[in-house]
């Protein structure tokens, strides 16, 4: 366990960013926080979390895959991917940190997505315990401990100091390069963690119970008559998807810039009406099917294929951002009724 | 880009078939010169010009877009240019509001008889765009050619 | 107010005026209301809510709801009623299947503003005169109600319910509001400043389409940006150009149809002031072509489908606004 | 730099055969003239024309063909329309193989096989049939029921009549929907024909065709006493990545591109009806 | 994606001199989808067209791009060429590399580069072209002539002669127009009335001709072959069916102080009047501005004296709707108002007159009974100064930039007639140039100078000042290089002529185009001089440009011939480039309907298949392809992009944009 005085935070950031690009959650001037490359003068946000999740850094909204050049009957494949530079992501919350595990299960399973993989390899994740969880937090439901997040390095903060614990080799290596961190006792964080846990225990959404959302009940959940009513107000926008740290659906599109064809990958949302559109129709023709897909994926399909791990980390972003507030907690609670 | 690396703007001129395209033809018939950067796209009427086309042109690397149509009152389809006038006024105002240079877009009414006006307009517009330099505020970086 | 609406809903259901009610449904918290169709007495009694967080404009749902069998009753706030009327004008809602109950609105509250005041872990709110009392995990806070109002409500244009079958409470009037002041401020900037402003705002866009999907004017069967046949389909904000393109074209498509209900800015997860684009168009139309309020009546021609012989030339742009 | 599975390789169209008014078969090799990859019958590949789009197609040729891949493609969308107007020598991009394929070397060996195909549905089965013909001794009796709207719409008619029909141990049953002058074979829809043919139930069925055909043929086979464990089919859904990641082609918790496209009907029964 | 053939035309040296046609053909040959590319000296020639046709057959082309002159020139030619080779004519695109490239650029490299880009745009467009088939629409076999002057009368007579019904709408109470006011005609000096009035009578008596006098066109809807016109018959307060034209009322009417418009206000008439003796129809008309009865309700004299009982004070404007296959515009001209010409003292002295007023003063049926007298004091003028080009060939804003064409000749006529009738008068003509290009025109002018001793002075009159009953004329003699001061008794101004004021609103109704001077534009200045660019609208007489009588009559007959050609057809082929909605995307919002100038868009409720085997009814737009003229206003009004224009689709135009900006 290491520590550094809060007043020295700037030195720490400065030292880290000498070697690697450092992203920290900072206010963006529009009343919200986002991960921003650190530069002299940039300070940590007071906000609990960023609006856009930390997945952006590993799975960006848009990335170029490959270029082509068509000429006559010939095609030239131009691989022009830029390898990501090493970077450090500071201030990741416990929920977002868990989301990397979920994304890993998708992108690092065979066949491995090399774009994601290299970013994961290049990125050092420094998590930060949540001093002030908010009412929309329900990470605890998924066994995530906001008082002791994972990642390459875990940090805790109180008024005086930042506490630092390296968890992995990557974390150790980074720590070794930061001499301003001084040693301290493991127990130093206990009061902080205890305080956090006492708040976590009072969170209103702790009562969310997801037992029974397993493979055996998949068909039952799928055929629930409630989907009709639940999906009724859904606008079919991609807000929940795009702020979600675990949503990873993507689209591959070509853009002809007049000289070359750029094939890029971009986020997509299963809530969008054309998500599964083919030349002769779509198998999810109404918002009901699309809405069902998103929540079934998070609550049933994903855990079925991944040792029961839910595709949700309880970050609460969709609870705050859904234009009509039809969020995963409402859906899960409604479906739970069916399983009783 | 031309050989001497001087900025050569790309200018798209949308011309209505009945007046301005004929006006452009007339300026050709009269051998009135205007810069080769100006490329004309024939549309049936100025009211056919969808704002999307203008934005598309800027996206793909145009530095200026001009719409030429019949003089108000002379539209072959009676009222087309009146609608075009309102649409373009509002569109240009919005582009201006978004901070796009006002001079990159223009509407000019050119009749079939105004070959000289057509050439003069194009010369003037091309000079204006040349002065403004490359379109940087409403461009798609993927389409940038340099 | 909520009780009066509830009673009305029950009454309409019971006397057969409507066989279902479109309203707002209670959520996990006091603020996360969801538009919902209520079919039974029980649902209404237990779940129907009308509170300062019932911001969602219900009129767009009626496009689909009015086409279903039977009759749906709906509660429309003044600004929602403008959207409703505009949709009627565009023949999108089957009027005969809708029973409209107009409701007055004292302005809706904005959770984002509460959070911006550092209120985290909000558990409940109460009203104490003109103050809002907020209980949080971390203690109690008191704020004047006016400070929590949504921006769109601060510059409310009208308290008049334009179309209704029945009204709960007093009919309101059109208000003098300075809703264009922000637009005017932008206009007064230099071109470079405006560009910087919008670049900063629009670059945050994540193309979630919430603004479009919530917008009552954006109710196309298929949006051009979703249609592969349109030639401009794009769903990713792959280049800053595409964000601009999307928002410019969207603003243009709703020009003369946008009632300035403000939903676009309310739902934007990135807090982009999208209404400033639409308001600019409204301001321009008012100044150039005479005052026009979309949705204010079912007949007036929208400015873009109309003209006069002596309209201003597009070059007028050069003489308006800042440098 | 690692090669990403999303990045395709170059292929060349070396031959184009027009099968029916809306089906063409394209022979594709790698840019080096070699077969791009080894596949299992029933697997698919992503073909693409940069700027037009990428789409998944069943590989029609048997893995036993050593130098090329064949794709029988029906014109139905913008990628296929583009493919249809290509000329020999056109380069395309290709990546694959994707999907599980038919269990030709495990569950199907030693079995009597019944292939049922409708229209372009023959394409994936074609690979299996020729694989089975190549390793004829590994399989029992082979019956093929193939139907289409008309004689002109029967894909790969010459190969069927001149090779398959003439091979011993293979019974080919062709049918068309409506009578026509130059047709002296069976007339009628595939499901009915299957029932008429009254196959014994000691067969493993491989079926592919339009949904309506599948639905009624399945019912017919049930009537004949077949069990759902005996019947395989192959699915087609919207796909972008074919890697099980983009999130489109799932049916319940199974991804068609990874866990499929070949499913047994008893497996499908456990999945939501969303296809 | 099409199989495209590219054909680059040299146009002799017109293109080839500034554009490297060989290179253009070569570069365009590399474009996607281009399977054949060549160049040839004259693509529009017989062998050029054969070249295209052979290529279509040999290379199974599905699209053709011709890089040549303007599509306005030869698009149709090449469409027909391709059609003959079995290609849909709308699979042809023209890249305009002559008018918009080779003719305006001098640098060959630059022009070649531009030609390539224009070619690329055309190729990009043709890839998205779809075969279009033209529909047909029936032709209403009836023509409308607007304006009953000599032009209108001649056109109507010729059309009627061919056996078609024709209506004349004349805004004045009588047909005849300006020619009725003219005394003699140049260069033959025969009497205008003598040659005009028989034609007026012919028109009135022709069974195929119907004259709507004192009427105006109120609205025009429809399109070629199918115009629906509303004609306003203005209230003349006289029952046309009863009035015998006896003229008694016009003598008895107590209101005598009405300026006589027919004599240009040089004398007065009654409130009820027949413009002149030979008026057709010869029916009285009450001038509502002056009639005491209509204004105060007290009088009724005419009603009392009318034995036919034709007076009807309660008459109102009536509206008649008629259908026509073709419309001829013959709205004629007027001299410009000279209020702004203070230097000629037109407003100050009654003895400064326009040529048309002078015409009335010389006319036997005019206010002076044919004796030339000064309007001010009724004395005989001894010195007359004619000023030419008053408001013609003018640089300033009060005049016209064009030459009014007829002034030189009528001034010569006036001068000659003066000298002939009153040899004791001195006649001066001030001119800039004397233009006499016409049969026997120059001879006529020379006779005026040589035989009649008219003083022709090259120079402009600077000022006319009325002083002691005389008109002091200051002028310059450019040839003599001196200032002239003439004490004249009368000054005659050859005022420029301009189109009638009714022409502009009419043009808007007809959707016919006009030039900046409000003359109607012809479809082609040389090859189609009597047609408006708007199909079914034809031009007759001075509404198209200044003309003398023989030219007017010639054009009138030419317009008639064109009308006859149109009416002889049973049906017309429609423009296939019309708007069409994609019903699946149509919102039914009516935006398109509101901007359609032709009323071509209607709505129906249509049932569609919805998801999951449901059906839903939606309001969707329908376009009548026979009515749609293809302007595209609706396509932009449509927010969902459901409405698109065939031949100029969104994707086609964007493909052109992309190709140009590439």
Distance of alpha carbon B113 from alpha carbon B19, whole angstroms: 8
Write the pLDDT tens digit of every residue in C58-102: 999 999 999 988 999 999 999 999 999 999 999 999 999 999 999
pLDDT for residue B3: 46
pLDDT for residue B11: 97
Q: Do B51 and E595 touch (CB under 8 A)?
A: no
**Is E206 inside any structural domain?**
yes
Taking contacts as CB-CB distances below 8 angstroms, the residues of chain C near A241 are 208
Which residues have CB under 8 Å from A325's CB, separation 6+?
Answer: A319, C27, C31, C32, C33, C34
Q: Do D253 and A305 touch (CB under 8 A)?
A: yes
Helix E192-205 vs helix E150-161: crossing angle, to nearest 10: 40
Concatenating the DSSP letter of every residue in chain D gives: -PPPTTS-EEEEEEEEEEEETTEEEEEEEETTSS-S----TT-EEEEEETTTEEEEEE--S-TT-SS-EEEEEE--SHHHHHHHT--TT-EEEEEEEES----TTTTTTT-EEEEEEEGGGHHHHHHHHHHHHHTGGGS--EEEEEEESSGGGSTTHHHIIIIITTSTTEEEEEEESS--TT--SEES-HHHHHHHHT--SSEEEEEES-HHHHHHHHHHHHHHT--GGGEEEE-----SSSSS-SS-SEETTEETTTT-SEEEHHHHTTS-S--
**Is E311 inside any structural domain?**
no
Q: Do C167 and C243 sit in the same domain of this protein?
A: no
Beta bridge partners of E520: E514
B55: contact with C, CB 8 A cutoff: yes
pLDDT for residue A43: 93
pLDDT for residue D2: 59
Q: Which CATH architecture has domain D9-98?
A: Beta Barrel (2.40)
DSSP state of E603: E
Q: Do C52 and C31 sit in the same domain of this protein?
A: yes
A158 CB-contact burial (10 Å; exposed 0-12 / middle 13-18 / buried 19+): middle
Q: Do E651 and C221 touch (CB under 8 A)?
A: no
How many separate domains does chain E show?
5
Q: Do E154 and E273 sit in the same domain of this protein?
A: no
D205 pLDDT band, cuts 50/70/90, is very high
Q: Between these two residues, A111 and E1, which has the higher pLDDT value?
A: A111
pLDDT for residue B2: 43
Distance of alpha carbon E377 from alpha carbon E279, whole angstroms: 30
Q: Do C93 and C193 sit in the same domain of this protein?
A: no
Kindly report the nearest CA distance between residue B4 and chain C, in angstroms: 29
C249: contact with E, CB 8 A cutoff: no
Write the pLDDT tens digit of every residue in A79-101: 988 889 999 999 999 999 999 99
Taking contacts as CB-CB distances below 8 angstroms, the residues of chain A near B143 are 257-258
SS3 category, E357: helix
Q: Compute the Cα dihedral for A243, A245, A248, A249 and give only its sign.
A: negative
CATH code, domain carrying E536: 3.50.50.60
For E338, list phi and psi in degrees, rounded to 5.
-105, 20
**Residue range of the domain that includes B103:** 11-132
Tokens 């990859």 found at: D37
Q: Which of residues 76-135 of A touch D (CB under 8 A)?
A: 77, 79, 81, 83, 106-107, 109, 111-115, 117-118
Q: Which residue from D minimizes the CA distance to E1?
A: D82
Percent of chain E surpassing pLDDT 70? 100
B98: contact with C, CB 8 A cutoff: yes
Check whether B1 has a pLDDT greater than 60.
Answer: no
pLDDT for residue E654: 95
Taking contacts as CB-CB distances below 8 angstroms, the residues of chain E near C254 are 639
D87: contact with A, CB 8 A cutoff: yes
Q: Which residue from A minimizes the CA distance to D88?
A: A73
Which residues have CB under 8 Å from C7's CB, separation 6+?
Answer: none
Check whether E386 has a pLDDT greater than 80.
Answer: yes
Among C121, C236, C266, beta carbon nearest to A132: C121
Chains D and B in direct contact, meaning 3 or more beta-carbon pairs closer than 8 angstroms? no
SS3 category, E520: strand
Kindly report the nearest CA distance between residue B79 and chain C, in angstroms: 9
Average pLDDT over residues A164-193: 94
Write the pLDDT tens digit of every residue in E395-404: 888 899 999 9
SS3 category, E337: coil
Write the pLDDT tens digit of every residue in D26-80: 999 999 999 999 999 999 999 999 999 899 999 999 999 999 999 999 998 889 9
Write the pLDDT tens digit of every residue in A7-62: 999 999 999 999 899 999 999 888 899 999 999 999 999 999 999 999 999 999 99
User: Which of E122, E222, E636, E639 best tests the B interface by mutation, with the highest count of B CBs <10 A?
Assistant: E636
Distance of alpha carbon E491 from alpha carbon D229, whole angstroms: 114
CATH code, domain carrying E588: 3.30.70.3270
Kindly report the nearest CA distance between residue E505 and chain C, in angstroms: 12
**Residue range of the domain that includes E56:** 4-126
**Peptide bond before residue E155 is cis, with ω within 30 degrees of 0:** no
How many separate domains does chain C show?
3
Dihedral, CA of residue E466, residue E468, residue E469 and residue E472, to nearest 10: -40
Q: Do E611 and A286 touch (CB under 8 A)?
A: yes
C70 CB-contact burial (10 Å; exposed 0-12 / middle 13-18 / buried 19+): exposed
Q: Do C205 and C287 sit in the same domain of this protein?
A: yes
* Helix H or strand E segment including E487: strand E482-488
Percent of chain A surpassing pLDDT 70? 99
Q: Which residue from A minimizes the CA distance to D93?
A: A75
Q: Which residue from C minimizes the CA distance to B138?
A: C241
A194 CB-contact burial (10 Å; exposed 0-12 / middle 13-18 / buried 19+): exposed
Q: Do C238 and B100 touch (CB under 8 A)?
A: no
CB pairs under 8 A between B and E: 163
Which residues have CB under 8 Å from E336's CB, separation 6+?
Answer: E391, E399, E400, E495, E496, E497, E498
Q: CA E622 → CA A110, E478, E626, distances in Å?
A: 53, 68, 12
Q: Do C90 and C229 sit in the same domain of this protein?
A: no
E573 pLDDT band, cuts 50/70/90, is confident
Q: Which residue from C minimizes the CA distance to A205?
A: C28
**Is B1 inside any structural domain?**
no
**Is B123 inside any structural domain?**
yes
Chains that touch C (3 or more CB pairs under 8 A): A, B, E
CATH of domain D112-234: 3.40.50.80
pLDDT for residue E223: 82
Residue A188, both tokens:
């130093």
**Residue A240's closest CA among A298, A292, A293, A318?**
A318
pLDDT for residue C323: 65
State the SS3 of chain A: CEEEEHHHHHHHHHHHHHHCEEEEEEECCCCCEEEEECCCCCCCCCCCCCCCCHHHHCCCCEEEEEEEEEECCEEEEECCCCCCCCEEEEEECHHHHHHHHHHHHHHCCCCCCHHHHHHHHHEEEEEECCCCCCCCCCHHHHCCCCCCCCCCEEEEECCCEEEEEECCHHHHHHHHCCCCCEECCHHHHHHHHHHHHHHHCCCHHHHCCCCCCCHHHHHHHHCCCHHHHHHHCCCCCCHHHHHCCCCCCEEEEEEECCCCEEEEEEECCCCCCCCCCECCECCCCCHHHHHHHHHHHHHHHHHHHCCCCCCCCCCCHHHHHCCCCCCHHHHHHHHHHHHC
Q: Do C164 and C198 sit in the same domain of this protein?
A: no
Q: Which of residues 188-247 of A touch D (CB under 8 A)?
A: 215, 218-219, 222-223
pLDDT for residue B4: 57
Among C201, C206, C271, beta carbon nearest to A31: C271
E strands in E272-341:
272-273, 285-286, 318-324, 326-329, 333-335
Write the pLDDT tens digit of every residue in E485-494: 999 999 999 9
Q: Which residue from E minimizes the CA distance to B18?
A: E533
Q: CA E405 → CA A286, D106, E439, distances in Å?
A: 73, 100, 14
pLDDT for residue D239: 76
The rounded mean pLDDT for chain C is 92
Check whether A316 has a pLDDT greater than 90.
Answer: yes
Taking contacts as CB-CB distances below 8 angstroms, the residues of chain D near A289 are 274
Q: Do C232 and C277 sit in the same domain of this protein?
A: yes
For E579, list phi and psi in degrees, rounded to 5.
-80, 150
**Residue range of the domain that includes C34:** 1-109+158-175
Chains that touch A (3 or more CB pairs under 8 A): B, C, D, E
E strands in C164-322:
166-168
Q: Do E122 and E155 sit in the same domain of this protein?
A: no
Check whether E525 has a pLDDT greater than 80.
Answer: no
Write the pLDDT tens digit of every residue in A193-246: 999 999 999 999 999 999 888 888 999 999 999 999 999 999 999 999 999 999
Kindly report the nearest CA distance between residue B139 and chain A, in angstroms: 12
Chains that touch E (3 or more CB pairs under 8 A): A, B, C, D
Q: Which of C280-284, D62-66, D250-254, E595-599 has the lowest mean pLDDT?
A: E595-599
CB pairs under 8 A between A and B: 10
Tokens 């590219």 found at: E6
Q: Do E558 and E587 sit in the same domain of this protein?
A: no
Q: Do E546 and E635 sit in the same domain of this protein?
A: no
**Is C153 inside any structural domain?**
no
Distance of alpha carbon E74 from alpha carbon E68, whole angstroms: 8
Check whether D1 has a pLDDT greater than 60.
Answer: no
Concatenating the DSSP letter of every residue in E440-458 gives: THHHHHHHHHHTT--EEEE
pLDDT for residue A126: 97
SS3 category, E416: helix
Distance of alpha carbon A280 from alpha carbon E287, whole angstroms: 73
């Amino acid at each position: 366990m290491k520590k550094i005085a809060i007043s020295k935070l700037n030195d720490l950031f400065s030292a880290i960013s000498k070697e690697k690009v450092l992203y920290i959650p900072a206010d963006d001037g529009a009343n919200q926080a986002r991960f921003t490359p650190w530069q002299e003068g940039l300070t940590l946000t007071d906000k609990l979390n960023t609006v856009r999740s930390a997945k952006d850094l590993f799975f960006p909204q848009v990335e170029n895959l490959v270029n082509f050049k068509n000429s006559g009957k010939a095609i030239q494949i131009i691989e022009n991917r830029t390898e990501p530079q090493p970077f450090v992501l500071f201030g990741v919350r416990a929920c977002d940190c868990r989301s990397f595990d979920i994304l890993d299960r998708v992108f690092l399973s065979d066949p491995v997505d090399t774009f994601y993989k290299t970013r994961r390899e290049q990125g050092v994740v420094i998590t930060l315990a949540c001093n002030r969880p908010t009412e929309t937090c329900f990470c605890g439901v998924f066994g995530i401990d906001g008082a002791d997040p994972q990642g390459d390095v875990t940090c805790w903060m109180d008024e005086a100091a930042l506490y630092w614990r390296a968890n992995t080799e990557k974390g150790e290596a980074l720590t070794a390069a930061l001499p301003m961190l001084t040693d301290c006792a493991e127990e130093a964080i206990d009061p902080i963690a205890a305080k956090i846990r006492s708040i976590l225990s009072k969170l209103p959404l702790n009562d969310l119970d997801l037992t029974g959302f397993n493979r055996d009940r998949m068909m039952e959940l799928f055929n629930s008559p409630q989907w009709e009513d639940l999906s009724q107000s859904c606008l079919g926008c991609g807000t929940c998807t795009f702020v979600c740290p675990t949503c990873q659906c993507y689209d591959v599109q070509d853009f002809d810039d007049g000289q070359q064809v750029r094939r890029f990958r971009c986020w997509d949302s299963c809530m969008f009406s054309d998500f599964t559109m083919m030349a002769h129709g779509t198998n999810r023709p109404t918002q009901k099917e699309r809405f069902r897909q998103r929540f079934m994926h998070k609550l049933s399909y994903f855990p079925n294929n991944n040792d029961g791990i839910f595709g949700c980390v309880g970050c609460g972003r969709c609870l705050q951002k859904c234009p009509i507030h039809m969020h995963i907690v409402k859906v899960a609670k409604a479906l739970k009724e069916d399983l009783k | 880009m031309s050989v001497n690396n001087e900025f050569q703007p790309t200018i798209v001129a949308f011309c209505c078939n009945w007046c301005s395209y004929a006006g452009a033809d007339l300026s050709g018939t009269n051998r009135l010169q205007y810069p080769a950067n100006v490329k004309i796209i024939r549309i049936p009427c100025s009211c056919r010009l969808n704002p999307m086309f203008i934005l598309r042109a800027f996206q793909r690397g145009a530095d200026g877009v001009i719409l030429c149509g019949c003089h108000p009152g002379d539209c072959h389809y009676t009222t087309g240019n009146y609608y075009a006038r309102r649409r373009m006024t509002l569109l240009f105002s919005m582009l201006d509001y978004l901070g796009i240079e006002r001079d990159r877009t223009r509407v000019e009414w050119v009749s079939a008889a105004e070959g000289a006006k057509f050439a003069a307009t194009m010369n003037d517009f091309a000079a204006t765009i040349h002065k403004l330099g490359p379109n940087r505020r409403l461009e798609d970086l993927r389409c940038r050619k340099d | 107010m909520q009780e009066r609406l509830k009673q009305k809903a029950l009454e309409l259901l019971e006397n057969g005026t409507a066989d279902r009610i479109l309203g707002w449904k209670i959520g996990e918290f006091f603020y996360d209301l969801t538009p919902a169709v209520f079919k039974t007495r029980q649902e209404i009694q237990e779940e129907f809510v009308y509170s300062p967080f019932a911001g969602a404009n219900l009129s767009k749902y009626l496009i689909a709801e009015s086409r279903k069998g039977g009759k749906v009753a709906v509660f429309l706030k003044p600004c929602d009623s403008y959207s409703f009327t505009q949709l009627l004008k565009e023949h999108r809602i089957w009027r005969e299947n809708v029973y409209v109950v107009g409701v007055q609105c004292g302005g809706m509250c904005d959770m984002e503003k509460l959070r911006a005041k550092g209120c985290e872990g909000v558990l409940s709110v109460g009203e104490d005169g003109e103050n809002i009392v907020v209980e949080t995990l971390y203690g109690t806070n008191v704020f004047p109600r006016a400070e929590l109002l949504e921006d769109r409500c601060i510059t409310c244009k009208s308290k008049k319910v334009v179309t209704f079958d029945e009204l709960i409470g007093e009919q309101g009037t059109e208000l003098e509001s300075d809703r264009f002041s922000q637009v005017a401020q932008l206009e007064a900037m230099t071109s470079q400043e405006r560009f910087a402003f919008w670049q900063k705002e629009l670059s945050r866009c994540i193309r979630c389409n919430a603004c479009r999907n919530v917008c009552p004017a954006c109710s196309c069967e298929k949006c051009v940006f979703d249609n592969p046949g349109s030639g401009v389909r794009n769903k990713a904000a792959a280049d800053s150009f595409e964000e601009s393109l999307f928002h410019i074209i969207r603003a243009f498509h709703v020009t003369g149809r946008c009632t300035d209900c403000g939903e676009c800015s309310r739902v934007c997860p990135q807090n982009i002031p999208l209404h400033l684009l639409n308001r600019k168009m409204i301001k321009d139309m008012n100044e150039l072509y005479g005052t026009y309020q979309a949705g204010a009546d079912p007949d007036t021609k929208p400015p873009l489908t109309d003209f006069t012989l002596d309209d201003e030339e597009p070059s007028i742009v050069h003489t308006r606004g800042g440098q | 730099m690692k090669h990403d599975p999303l990045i395709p390789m170059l292929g060349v169209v070396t031959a184009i055969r027009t099968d029916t008014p809306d089906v063409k078969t394209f022979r594709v090799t790698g840019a080096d003239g070699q077969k791009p990859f080894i596949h299992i019958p029933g697997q698919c590949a992503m073909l693409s024309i940069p700027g037009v789009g990428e789409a998944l197609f069943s590989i029609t040729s048997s893995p036993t063909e050593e130098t090329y891949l064949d794709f029988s493609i029906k014109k139905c969308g913008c990628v296929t329309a583009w493919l249809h107007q290509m000329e020999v020598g056109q380069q395309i991009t290709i990546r694959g193989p994707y999907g599980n394929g038919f269990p030709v070397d495990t569950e199907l060996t030693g079995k009597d096989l019944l292939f049922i195909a409708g229209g372009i549905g023959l394409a994936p089965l074609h690979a299996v049939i020729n694989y089975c013909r190549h390793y004829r001794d590994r399989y029992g009796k082979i019956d093929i029921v193939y139907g289409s709207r008309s004689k002109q719409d029967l894909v790969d008619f010459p190969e069927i009549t001149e090779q398959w029909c003439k091979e011993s141990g293979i019974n080919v049953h062709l049918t068309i929907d409506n009578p026509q002058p130059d047709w002296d074979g069976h007339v009628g829809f595939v499901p009915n024909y299957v029932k008429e043919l009254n196959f014994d139930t000691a067969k493993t069925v491989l079926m592919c065709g339009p949904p309506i055909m599948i639905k009624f043929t399945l019912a017919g086979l049930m009537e004949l006493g077949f069990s759902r464990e005996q019947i395989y089919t192959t699915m087609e859904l919207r796909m972008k990545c074919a890697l099980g990641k983009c999130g489109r082609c799932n049916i319940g918790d199974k991804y068609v591109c990874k866990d499929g496209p070949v499913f047994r009907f008893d497996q499908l029964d456990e999945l939501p009806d969303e296809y | 994606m099409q199989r495209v053939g590219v054909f680059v035309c040299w146009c002799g040296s017109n293109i080839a001199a500034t554009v490297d046609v060989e290179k253009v053909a070569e570069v365009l040959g590399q474009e996607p989808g281009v399977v054949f590319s060549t160049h040839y000296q004259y693509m529009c020639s017989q062998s050029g067209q054969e070249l295209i046709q052979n290529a279509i057959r040999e290379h199974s082309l599905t699209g053709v791009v011709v890089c040549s002159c303007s599509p306005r020139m030869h698009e149709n030619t090449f469409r027909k060429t391709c059609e003959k080779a079995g290609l849909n004519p709308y699979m042809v695109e023209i890249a305009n590399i002559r008018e918009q490239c080779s003719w305006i650029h001098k640098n060959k490299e630059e022009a070649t580069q531009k030609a390539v880009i224009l070619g690329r745009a055309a190729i990009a467009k043709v890839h998205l072209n779809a075969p279009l088939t033209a529909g047909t629409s029936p032709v209403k076999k009836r023509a409308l002539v607007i304006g009953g002057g000599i032009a209108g009368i001649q056109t109507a007579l010729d059309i009627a002669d061919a056996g078609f019904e024709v209506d004349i709408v004349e805004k004045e109470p009588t047909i005849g127009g300006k020619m009725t006011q003219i005394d003699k005609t140049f260069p033959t000096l025969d009497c205008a009335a003598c040659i005009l009035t028989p034609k007026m009578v012919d028109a009135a008596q022709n069974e195929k001709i119907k004259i709507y006098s004192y009427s105006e066109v109120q609205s025009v809807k429809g399109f070629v072959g199918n115009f629906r016109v509303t004609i306003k018959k203005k209230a003349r307060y006289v029952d046309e069916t009863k009035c015998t034209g006896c003229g008694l009322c016009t003598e008895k009417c107590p209101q005598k102080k009405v300026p006589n418009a027919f004599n240009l206000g040089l004398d007065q008439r009654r409130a009820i009047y027949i413009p002149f003796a030979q008026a057709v129809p010869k029916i009285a008309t009450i001038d509502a501005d002056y009639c005491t009865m209509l204004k105060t309700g007290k009088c009724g004299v005419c009603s009392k004296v009318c034995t036919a009982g034709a007076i009807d004070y309660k008459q109102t404007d009536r509206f008649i709707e008629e259908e026509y296959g073709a419309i001829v515009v013959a709205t004629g001209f007027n001299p410009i108002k000279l209020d702004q010409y203070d230097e000629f003292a037109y407003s100050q002295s009654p003895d400064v007159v326009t040529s048309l007023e002078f015409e009335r003063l010389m006319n036997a049926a005019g206010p002076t009974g044919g004796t030339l007298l000064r309007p001010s004091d009724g004395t005989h003028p001894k010195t007359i100064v004619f000023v030419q080009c008053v408001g013609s060939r003018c640089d300033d804003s009060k005049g016209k930039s064009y030459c009014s064409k007829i002034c030189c000749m009528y001034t010569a006529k006036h001068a000659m007639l003066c000298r002939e009738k009153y040899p004791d008068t001195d006649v001066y003509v001030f001119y800039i140039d004397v233009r006499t290009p016409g049969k026997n025109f120059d001879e006529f002018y020379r006779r005026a100078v040589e035989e009649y001793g008219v003083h022709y002075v090259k120079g402009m009159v600077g000022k006319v000042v009325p002083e002691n009953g005389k008109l002091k004329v200051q002028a310059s003699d450019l040839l003599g290089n001196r200032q002239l001061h003439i004490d004249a008794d009368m000054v005659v101004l050859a005022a420029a002529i301009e189109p009638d004021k009714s022409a502009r609103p009419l043009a808007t109704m007809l959707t016919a185009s006009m030039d900046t001077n409000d003359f109607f534009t012809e479809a082609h200045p040389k090859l189609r001089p009597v047609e408006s660019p708007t199909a079914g609208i034809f031009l007759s007489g001075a509404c198209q440009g200044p003309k003398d009588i023989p030219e007017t009559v010639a054009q009138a007959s030419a317009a008639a011939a064109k009308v006859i050609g149109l009416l002889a057809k049973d049906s017309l082929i429609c423009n296939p480039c019309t708007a069409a909605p994609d019903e699946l995307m149509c919102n039914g919002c009516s935006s398109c309907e509101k901007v359609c100038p032709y009323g071509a868009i209607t709505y129906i409720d249509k049932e569609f298949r919805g998801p999951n085997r449901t059906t839903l009814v939606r309001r969707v737009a329908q376009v009548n392809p026979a009515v749609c003229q293809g302007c595209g206003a609706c396509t932009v009004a449509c927010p969902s992009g459901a409405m698109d224009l065939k031949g100029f689709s969104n994707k086609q135009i964007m493909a052109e944009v992309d190709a140009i900006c590439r």
